[in-house]
Amino acid sequence: MGGHRRPEDTVRSAAAWAVERTLASLAPSSVYLESALAKCQPLDRPLMRELVLGTLRWLRRLDDVVARAANRKFQSIEPALQTILRVGTYQLLFLDRVPAHAAVHEAVAEATRRTHRGGGSFTNAVLRRIGRSPRLEDWPVRATDPVEKLAIETSHPTFLVTRWLAQFGEQATHELLAANNRPKPMPLLTFRDRGGREPLAEALIDQGFDVEPSKLAPDGLVVRRGNPLETKSYQDGVFYLQDEASQAAALIPPPRAGETILDAATAPGGKAFAMLASEPAAKLTLADVSFDRVVGRVRSNLERLGRHVPLLVADAGAPALATTFDRVVLDLPCSGTGTLRKHPELKWRIQPSEIGRLARQSRRLLEGAAPLVRPGGLLVAITCSLEPEENDAVVAAFLADRADFELLDLADRLSFPLEQWIAGRGRWQILPADHHDGFTLHVLMRKGAPP
């Protein structure tokens, strides 16, 4: 295998490149995955996506298996070989459509190219050993501490598993860990004023897609097979790609016709689009602190969707606006622990000291946005985090200083299925499950009669 061979020349080596770059950077996995996909043949793209995201999801368990097969600590393995072994092991243990000999041969060739003949021989020995026992149950985790063992088995940081067991209990934590490791289908948001989800579902099914209605989001569809982003319906702005739970969170409580709503940290616009999908007669204004995001992603999404709404560059923590709204929606900065299924690389970046690190910034945003809520209006705080320091603690500190706000009772304001996730007065939380991410939401009302 010549020394001039580029990483993108094969699917497996390109996948290893994408995993390696993701772990070495702070960029989302999608950045390097999309770069690798662009260099692949269309038929190879599903395998590429599976290799990259699957390896990142199961990284810790893969490292444990490789260490066992190599009979040494994983970190003592030559760094240039580590990701090659991870991707190869993922293929052997999780993908039955890729012949084992092909996976081993490709990994050995890449290892030799990156290092030396000895690196290729080592990779060959390790992967052949794993290939002789190509099931996870053939490599039971040997850790004796039950929490550590569970964390390795489900490929999560131990500190997160410890936190979630204390917060959610054993059964819910096991379900959460399993959900984080399932591949995610493609969720779509449809628009009632563009026909809703039934006509789009029929059109996609006629084109050979595997589609079903969301059980969580009333305007959502779930695509299990096929890429709808390559269809004319996408180009025509008939749908928007958005997680089901994110769609649902935008409807807590459901928007009303004529309601004035400020989405104060909107980029890329998903919550606003979900509100418009549910109630096209709601009067939305979109704002974000980043000029580049506003004139880039948000504007391009609005143009594709054919939506004409006011769009502002404004800091939610110090907005220069002279009007008030019936509702102000804030997506607060957080660690993203509810989105590990979609962003598996976050599992290996989040540190215990970082949980709650952004709480001060979140508090500033809440305090800045509060004057924009009219008396009787709502202030809605949303995060894709499951951690109380980034949710309950932030809201409690805000309420301690703002006697003119109180948590809103959601009991009579939500219908099935959204009512199932009311988690206290003014609090709504859904954990990752089925096809969706996890979100935490607080709804506060400004006291006083509306004008």
How is the chain split into domains, by residue range?
A: 7-138, 146-180, 244-446
CB 378 within 8 A of CB 443: yes
CA distance 416 to 439: 17
Catalytic residue among 384, 394, 395, 443: 384
Burial class (CB in 10 A: 0-12, 13-18, 19+), 38: exposed
The reply to whether domains 7-138 and 244-446 share a CATH topology is no
pTM of the model: 0.92
CATH number for the region 7-138 comes to: 1.10.940.10
Question: What is the full per-residue pLDDT of the chain (451 aa) written as tens digits?
Answer: 344 444 445 888 899 999 999 999 989 999 999 999 988 888 888 899 999 999 999 999 999 999 999 999 999 999 999 999 999 999 999 998 778 888 899 899 999 999 888 999 999 999 999 999 999 999 999 999 999 999 999 999 999 999 999 999 999 999 999 999 998 899 999 999 999 999 999 999 999 999 999 999 999 999 998 889 989 999 999 999 999 999 999 999 999 999 999 999 999 999 999 999 999 999 999 999 999 999 899 999 999 999 999 999 999 999 888 899 999 999 999 999 999 999 999 999 999 988 988 999 999 999 999 999 999 999 999 999 999 999 999 999 999 999 999 999 999 999 999 999 999 999 999 999 988 999 999 999 999 877 6
For residue 254, give the amino acid letter. P
- Asked if omega into 253 is within 30° of 0 (cis), the reply is yes
CA distance 395 to 374: 19
**Fold topology of 244-446:** Rossmann fold (3.40.50)
- Decide if 40 is catalytic: no
Nearest to 368 by CA among 321, 316, 440, 309: 316
